[in-house]
Chains A and B, each alone.
Chain A
Amino acid sequence: MPTIDCDSRVHETRVTDRSELAPGVILLGLNAPELARATRAGQYVMAIPPTGEAAATALGIYEAQGERASLLFFLTGKRTRELGELRPGDMLALTGPLGNGFDLSSKPRHAVIVAGGVGIASVLLAAQRLVADGTRVELLYGARNEALLVDAQRFAEAGCELALATDDGSAGHHGLITALLERRSEMPDLILACGPSPMLRAVGRIAADRGVRAQLSLEETFACGVGGCWGCVVPLARTSAQAPGFPLESQGGSDVVYARICKEGPVFFSDELKW
């Protein structure tokens, strides 16, 4: 992805609204005008835990419009539960926006976005932007069950065509969302995906089989979130434009280099990932 040169900083934001979209899935609205203005589709923030008792949490920026930005996250551990405790009026400090988002510059006629589970949190801005640019956008959205297909209506309202899948068959296709990508007769001009690693690998494999490349937004445990610690890496072809500059001999004969998901990513081209 092209490097985004954006105005990143620490933002002191105020929670404006909070809703539980499904059991354990929180949408947190924030008054964050500067963050909303600076954010590009596919970027994320590091949310600083209010009690300071845990590491910051990387969260995709769900919405960014006017004075409001929002975060959509699942309550999966101590850190997200702490954020889930926040109520309107509470303060939340964030660093961001961070990372290189999706490359939407090709002005595609037809785009498919594949989202799995909490991956939905990182694709709304891309969907909105593509629709605004006149692109036909299909969202393939998979989750464990119907209740966890959160906010699908929002994408329909934004002008996306929806296809759903659930692991238990409670809504849409009974099985993996990637099956809906695989069975297509034609591939779109642009494929974006965000979700669990097995889903992203499958999207990458399907894209490769059909001779196209996908943009995959990766998730990994972060420590610093800003490129300082080299903890959140993924093996990347050293020929990739996103590969950090390293001398050839560091590869020990292989053509792979570890790139930072937080800095060089989180979005990578599927054909450059060597995972």
Chain B
Amino acid sequence: MITAQPSLEVKLGKLQLAYPTLMGSGCYGSGDEFAPFADLTKIGAVVLKSVTRRPRLGNPTPRLVHTPAGLLNAIGLQNPGIDWYVEREVPKYADRPCPLIGSVAGFSIDDYAYVCEQLAKCAPIAAIELNISCPNVGSEGETFACDPDLTARVVRAARATTDKTLIVKLSPNVTDIASIAREAEAAGADALAVINTVRGMSVDVETWRPRLGNVTGGLSGPAIRPIAVLAVYEVARAVSIPIVGQGGIETATDALEFFLAGATAVSIGTANFTDPRIPERIVAELQAYLGRRGLAAIGDIVGKANVGIVGAYQHGGDEG
């Protein structure tokens, strides 16, 4: 008897994905950079590098520091600006073998709305991620994701410009991520990306100087995974839209933690710097895991760690 392969298909708003694995923004170029080393037909989608209204030179160097179980970065949203990007970059993306999700960053609500509108018009762009949580551009980049009211306003403004799936990327550098998530949902977000990098810093004890040109950076990699799993868990209890879980996922087991905590899909970033074959391996192992347990679809396990839980959350009945 032939048993059907368990389905890994997921839906984020209107966006149907063959696999629940996104490649994190800024970690995978436009996909083309990794095409010689990874099978792009075996990934869910590539989230493109963030683009802003005006061109940005990016941060001074060094921009990267390897830390225990992590990577500290401060790239600073280097990008050619939306006009150049739409005219000269996006057309090159037309024949990618997987869906592309555009990423929008900004410094004002107008910026976000403008860039979102221009980008969403482009045929190769299947959906939009609003990066309201970049920690590496002074205080401005992350301001939106740290304030429920600003989150609501920026999401509402972006929502008004497009019907394409709108994913809002949240910051872990907040006191109550659930309250931000609720605002984003109410303002029209189709899905939430949880989480962006965790703010961090490293100092060179020989030179007595910060090791990043930008002084502070965003930490990614396995070091932040438990932080991210908790954030997904908390957000999943607060909203009913899908969550794209991310933060240090390197294996199918890591990904499963996120699904069980409440993520509908996951995003793989830093792990691509360890081995570009990781996303394909995760997909194969997720399928095997579901098969072993006789489950038909990845959706069957989403949020199961949230069921019948005993502990502090049981007393928070007003959240559920």
Chain A residues near B (Cβ < 8 Å): 8-10, 48-49, 52-56, 79, 93, 95, 220-235, 245-247, 249-252, 254, 256-258, 263
Answer yes or no: B33 CB below 8 A from chain A CBs: yes
Given contacts A230-B58, A249-B54, contact A93 B28 (CB under 8 A): no
Which of A52, A55, A254 has most chain B Cβ within 10 Å?
A55
A8 to chain B, nearest CB (A): 5
User: Can you offer 24 A-B residue contacts whose CB atoms are under 8 A?
Assistant: A54-B274, A55-B270, A56-B273, A56-B275, A93-B275, A221-B66, A223-B273, A224-B34, A224-B272, A226-B276, A229-B26, A230-B49, A230-B78, A231-B75, A232-B64, A233-B58, A233-B78, A247-B80, A249-B55, A250-B54, A250-B55, A250-B80, A251-B57, A263-B33
Give the CA-CA distance A8 to B270 in the complex, in Å: 21
A223 touches B71 (CB 8 A): yes
* Residues on the A chain within 8 Å of B64, using CB: 221-223, 231-232
Answer yes or no: B56 CB below 8 A from chain A CBs: yes
Give the CA-CA distance A145 to B103 in the complex, in Å: 50
Answer yes or no: B73 CB below 8 A from chain A CBs: yes
B26 touches A8 (CB 8 A): no
Give the CA-CA distance A97 to B63 in the complex, in Å: 24
Given contacts A246-B55, A250-B57, A258-B58, contact A229 B37 (CB under 8 A): no
A34 to chain B, nearest CB (A): 12
Interface of A is mostly: loop
Give the CA-CA distance A15 to B186 in the complex, in Å: 57
Give the CA-CA distance A254 to B56 in the complex, in Å: 12
Give the CA-CA distance A252 to B27 in the complex, in Å: 26
Beyond A95-B276, A224-B28, A232-B64, 11 additional pairs, beta carbon < 8 A: A8-B37, A9-B37, A48-B275, A52-B274, A93-B275, A225-B273, A227-B29, A231-B63, A234-B61, A247-B84, A258-B57
* Residues on the B chain within 8 Å of A252, using CB: 57
A230 touches B26 (CB 8 A): yes
Give the CA-CA distance A257 to B274 in the complex, in Å: 28
Give the CA-CA distance A232 to B78 in the complex, in Å: 12
Interface of B is mostly: loop
B274 touches A56 (CB 8 A): yes
B276 touches A10 (CB 8 A): yes
Chain B residues near A (Cβ < 8 Å): 26-29, 33-34, 36-37, 49, 54-58, 61-66, 69, 71, 73, 75, 78, 80-81, 83-84, 88, 250, 270, 272-277
B36 touches A8 (CB 8 A): yes
Give the CA-CA distance A225 to B73 in the complex, in Å: 14
A232 touches B63 (CB 8 A): yes
A49 touches B274 (CB 8 A): yes
Which chain A residue has the least Cβ–Cβ distance from B63? A231
A245 touches B273 (CB 8 A): no
B273 touches A257 (CB 8 A): no
B87 to chain A, nearest CB (A): 10
A228 touches B27 (CB 8 A): yes
* Residues on the A chain within 8 Å of B83, using CB: 247
| Nearest 8 Cβ contacts at the A-B interface | A250-B55, A228-B29, A231-B64, A228-B33, A227-B33, A223-B273, A221-B64, A8-B36
CB within 8 A of B274: which of A48, A221, A226? A48
Give the CA-CA distance A225 to B36 in the complex, in Å: 13
Given contacts A55-B71, A221-B64, A233-B58, contact A250 B274 (CB under 8 A): no
Give the CA-CA distance A158 to B56 in the complex, in Å: 47
Which chain B residue has the least Cβ–Cβ distance from A275? B61
Give the CA-CA distance A53 to B66 in the complex, in Å: 12
* Residues on the A chain within 8 Å of B56, using CB: 250
* Residues on the A chain within 8 Å of B61, using CB: 220, 233-235, 258
* Residues on the A chain within 8 Å of B62, using CB: 220-221
* Residues on the B chain within 8 Å of A230, using CB: 26, 49, 58, 63, 75, 78
* Residues on the A chain within 8 Å of B34, using CB: 224, 226, 228
